[in-house]
Structure 1
Amino acid sequence: MEFGLPEDNYNISLKKFESMLKTNTVLFFDSDEFENIIHHYLEIGKIALAKKAIKLGLDQHPTSINLKLFQTEIFVLENKFEEANKTLEALHILEPTNEEVYIQKANVLSKQDEHEKAVNTLLIALDLAPDDDEGIGDLYALIGMEYLFLDQFENAKIYFKKCLDIDLEDYSALYNVIYCYDFLDENEDAITFINAYLDKNPYCEVAWHQLGRQYVTVKELDKALAAFEFAIISDDSFVGAYLEKGKVLEKKKQYLEAIENYKITLALDEPTSFALLRIGYCYDKLEKYDLAVQSYYKTVHEDPLLDKGWIAITKFYNKQKNYQKALFYINKAINIDSENAIYWKLYAQINWRLNFLEEAERGYKKTLDLGNYELQTWLSRADILIALGEFEAAILNLIQAAEFHPETAEIEFRLAGLNFTLHEHSKGHYHLKNAVLLNHEFGYIMEELFPKVMQKPTVKQIILQAKK
């Protein structure tokens, strides 16, 4: 449907309609005026007003095909698919070659997840549409989107490229083409495509930005940097290009230049927690710790719910061996995201350094519960349980660890020591012999964790023989 009233007439119609609603009088509008009024309300999301305009429009123009098409659009928005289909069938009988009827049919099918049927219906609409139809690009975009829903990225790519053939500055289509390349891991092809696009549209900051991202993916950082610089030349207020340029400079360890680019984004736009956090990381790398922590504090001031900001402060104080402060801030991060295993592991490590063994054990248990099955996590929890005298719990923990890390000397030495401690001598000998066969160099575990067990002559003998 085309909406082509001159702007002055359009505004007059809108004011006249809204005035009519306020005064509760009924005025006459031609069908074109109603179409533009309805289109306006749908565009700005005022559905109730759009519905009123459709009702009044159909009262005055009961045979208008376009107003009935708008009615089906409302039916679809309200998930009234049966009513939408009935109206469309009636319209199809009246105008069997109206492509808009097929577009709305496809809309209904799409909303019901019948994407294959939606594509076929849109292809019929495409056949019916005149070659010079201004809305042909929109049709290509709709077909492309349906192919995306079907995960048919090659087909989607074809139709989004057709959109660009019609309108080189259709950036939505450009993003979608590149999305398809990304999903298919065709980064080199994406680079070729974007370069060809830039030959036709050389000052397109969006394309330069996307080209830079592709070069980052294929690890061509110098080319990525050049692309982001061209994006900035094309639009020197393009915040995204400065951010990406900053990230590349970080990768190249050019931290001062990275900070400069991040600071430009703060001047151009509202400060973002992302930019402040990156500035903090850069200062950290430059060992300018006071500036780093200031930036981290600004990050959490800007976005108190950004767990990465609290984690950055935690790691900062952890590195400074200020474990009390580190513990305070890791608790902040956990309060925001309590299902993050990395946070719980850091929580456990900090508590252990503070000698809060029960809390440290709880942290490692939570880490394991959340699916972090690294060997060191199991071993750390076992060592804390040993320190707490929870020997049976330590054994159970290590038996579980062995399921994920079979034939591991560090586990076997600990199981040996624990079983000897509990006077389970046959089990102790079994695990000790396993341990020395796997790697006798971890024998120091017995000395550190089980010094009394190391006094046993049989234990000493097994370890000494293994070293020969």
Structure 2
Amino acid sequence: MDIIEIIESGEQSLENGDTRHAQKKFLEALKLVPEDPQMHNRLGMFEMAQNNPEKAKTYYQEACNLAPEVSRYHMRLGDSLQRLSRYEDAIQSYSRSLELEPKNAPAWNNRGFANFNIDRWNEALRCYDESMRSDPTYAVAWYNYGYTLQLSGRLNESKDFYQKAVDLDPTDKIAWNNLANVHYNQGQYERSIEIYKKSLKLDDLYVIAVNNIGNALDHLHRYEESIPYHERAIELDSTFHYAWMAKGRALTKLNKPEEGLEFIETSIELDSDDPDYYEALGRCYIELGLLDKARTIFNQGLAIDGQHVPCWIGLGDVNNNIGNKIQSLQCYDEAVRAQDVLSRNRMRDLDWIEKGRILHEAGVMHEGLRQYNNAINIASSTSRPYFRMAEVLIRDDRYEDAKEVVKKGLAIDPDSITGQGLLIQSLSSSEINADIDDLISKSQGSKILKSVLGSKLVEINPSKALELLDKSNFKDIMKRVVCFKNLNDNAKALTLSKHAITIKPNNVNSWVAAGWSAYDLEKYSEADTFFESALGCDMYCPDALFGKASVMKVIGKDYSYYQKALTEIDSELVI
């Protein structure tokens, strides 16, 4: 058998998956031509494919010694050195390769990546740029340039490079995922979901993209939709600790902390060094009413990272709930200090937004809004800081100011469902009535927009609101109850209130709604039962106390106990 036949036999074995026989044949060929650089190169490629960079380096080095004028041998030597984390040596090999072949796009790209790995990001960008100049169709360099920009916080610039990478290579699922990440990091969650799905279309087992869709849905507060994605991520990789935490957190947000607890605890069992998981667990304990446990958990998170902002906020919330106002403010102060360091070090709009949120919730309104303006100043080309500031202005009933800010965000991202929803929330009753048909038409394709618009119509046009509000979402069901009350259809209001009770039996509002519906139907015995159950959920609920007292009064029984309880809550609440 001559050398060509030996090599072909090795290649065939490799193709069939028989790596041992392939290696045997390649080594047999090398013995016949020990001075042939191509055989050393081929064995180097074989060892690299088998994840043996140290062995590969030896073969590539000999190929370079035998044929120092061949550029690709030096490049591949650099690749093996890079895999061994010998980045400076790798750079020297790439430099030699480029001296021999200055337009070698892969060598420029790989040299850039070596510089990236030792934090020389500007030099990495220069090398990627040279790679793209050498071969404008080399998608890897476009991707790496975008990735480096993304990590540098230059999100808007990175987007163009990722887009070029997927245009050149539409089969690159990782490039699609990272392009989606940029939209996600800019707060364009709806758009990010669309792009994550393109990544999944290429590989429906790509667990990172699966979970990222769930994360984007979480940010849109669409927790019922996000949970199946987190579940799928866990199914694909049972060690994916973030997915366990995310599912538990979503369940907590859906007022199911008992269910969420197990998932968050599992995430900590898998990775006990991430303070985010302790923050999620602390929030879960707060929802369960276990404030001492929550405080312990938040402190555990801070023991891992003393500057962890969410844990400081959580600790502040616990102290606030138990009446320790001074300690609560001290925790919020620590959160602001930590966030201020992040904001100034990274200059990311999200950091300024978070600082603004902390200050605003602590009651420092003016200073909080100033932080949102800082976020806009450093990310004025993205919609997120505008929308986040608008949310705060709406909560403060500054609807005209909110409207102007939302419009600026929509000018950047006109298709944003979040932005469209905020615009509807900022409109006055007269503005909504004037454009009712157009607003309904625009909301038809989105359950979220229909819900937002329906909520605005509850008082001014309850019949239209009933057409828009969802029949399965608890919050929308409660708004539908109000619609029927406003239409004086107390029978339907009572039926729907009872349905709401079956969905969330521990929610005081559904029991109160049922109580008042029965009261207005003069079903006083039934109303009394509902108000009693409401007080069982929250014995200090003013609406439940007022309802119970009203029933007692109308049936001629002593209601002084409930009147006294009401007066202690608010002296103006008189039956």
TM-score (normalised: structure 1): 0.53
The correspondence for 1:264, drawn from 101, 123, 133, is 133
Q: Does 1:354 align with 2:220?
A: yes
Task: Look up the match of 1:175.
Answer: 42
**Contact 2:26/2:43 (CA < 8 Å) preserved in 1?**
yes
The correspondence for 1:224, drawn from 82, 90, 94, is 90
* Equivalent-residue separation in structure 1 for 2:250 and 2:222 (angstroms): 10
Give the deviation of 1:404 after TM superposition: 5.1
Deviation digits for residues 24-76 of structure 1 (CA, Å, limit 9, x no counterpart): xxxxxxxxxxxxxxxxxxxxxxxxxxxxxxxxxxxxxxxxxxxxxxxxxxxxx
Task: Look up the match of 1:185.
Answer: 52
Give the deviation of 1:337 after TM superposition: 2.9
* Equivalent-residue separation in structure 1 for 2:218 and 2:240 (angstroms): 18
Task: Look up the match of 2:211.
Answer: 345
**Contact 1:160/1:174 (CA < 8 Å) preserved in 2?**
no
Give the deviation of 1:338 after TM superposition: 2.7
Distance 1:412 1:430, change over 3 A: farther
**Contact 1:138/1:163 (CA < 8 Å) preserved in 2?**
no
Give the deviation of 1:347 after TM superposition: 1.6
**Contact 2:180/2:192 (CA < 8 Å) preserved in 1?**
yes
**Contact 1:160/1:177 (CA < 8 Å) preserved in 2?**
no
Query: Could you tell me which amino acid in structure 1 is paired with residue 158 of structure 2?
Result: A
* Equivalent-residue separation in structure 2 for 1:353 and 1:384 (angstroms): 10
Deviation digits for residues 206-234 of structure 1 (CA, Å, limit 9, x no counterpart): 32122111221222223212222322333
* Equivalent-residue separation in structure 1 for 2:61 and 2:19 (angstroms): 28
Task: Look up the match of 1:365.
Answer: 231
Distance 1:277 1:162, change over 3 A: same
* Equivalent-residue separation in structure 1 for 2:149 and 2:266 (angstroms): 42
Task: Look up the match of 2:34.
Answer: 165
* Equivalent-residue separation in structure 1 for 2:253 and 2:48 (angstroms): 54
The correspondence for 2:73, drawn from 185, 198, 207, is 207
Distance 1:162 1:449, change over 3 A: farther
Give the deviation of 1:364 after TM superposition: 2.0
Give the deviation of 1:288 after TM superposition: 4.8
Point out the more displaced range, 436-445 or 351-360: 436-445
Q: Which runs of no fewer than 5 residues in structure 2 stay unpaired?
A: 304-310, 324-575
Query: Could you tell me which amino acid in structure 2 is paired with residue 250 of structure 1?
Result: F
**Contact 1:273/1:300 (CA < 8 Å) preserved in 2?**
yes
Q: Does 1:282 align with 2:148?
A: yes
Give the deviation of 1:445 after TM superposition: 6.0
* Equivalent-residue separation in structure 2 for 1:241 and 1:437 (angstroms): 49
Identity %: 12
Query: Could you tell me which amino acid in structure 2 is paired with residue 335 of structure 1?
Result: K
Deviation digits for residues 335-380 of structure 1 (CA, Å, limit 9, x no counterpart): 3333222112222222222222222223322222221534443233
* Equivalent-residue separation in structure 2 for 1:304 and 1:140 (angstroms): 34
1:386-401 alignment runs, 5 A limit: 386-391=252-257, 393-395=259-261, 397=263
Q: Which runs of no fewer than 5 residues in structure 1 stay unpaired?
A: 1-125, 127-134, 421-427, 456-468
Q: Higher Cα Rg: structure 1 or 2?
A: 1
- Count of paired positions: 308
**Contact 1:190/1:214 (CA < 8 Å) preserved in 2?**
yes
Point out the more displaced range, 312-321 or 152-161: 152-161
Task: Look up the match of 1:142.
Answer: 9
TM-score (normalised: structure 2): 0.44
Task: Look up the match of 1:384.
Answer: 250
Distance 1:436 1:138, change over 3 A: closer
1:21-32 alignment runs, 5 A limit: none
CA-atom RMSD in angstroms: 4.3
Query: Could you tell me which amino acid in structure 2 is paired with residue 371 of structure 1?
Result: D
Deviation digits for residues 307-354 of structure 1 (CA, Å, limit 9, x no counterpart): 223222222222223333333323333333332221122222222222
**Contact 1:145/1:156 (CA < 8 Å) preserved in 2?**
no
Q: Does 1:302 align with 2:160?
A: no
Task: Look up the match of 1:240.
Answer: 106
Deviation digits for residues 266-299 of structure 1 (CA, Å, limit 9, x no counterpart): 24xxx13322212222344555544322222222
What secondary structure sits across from 2:20 in the alignment? coil
**Contact 1:141/1:163 (CA < 8 Å) preserved in 2?**
no
Distance 1:432 1:230, change over 3 A: closer
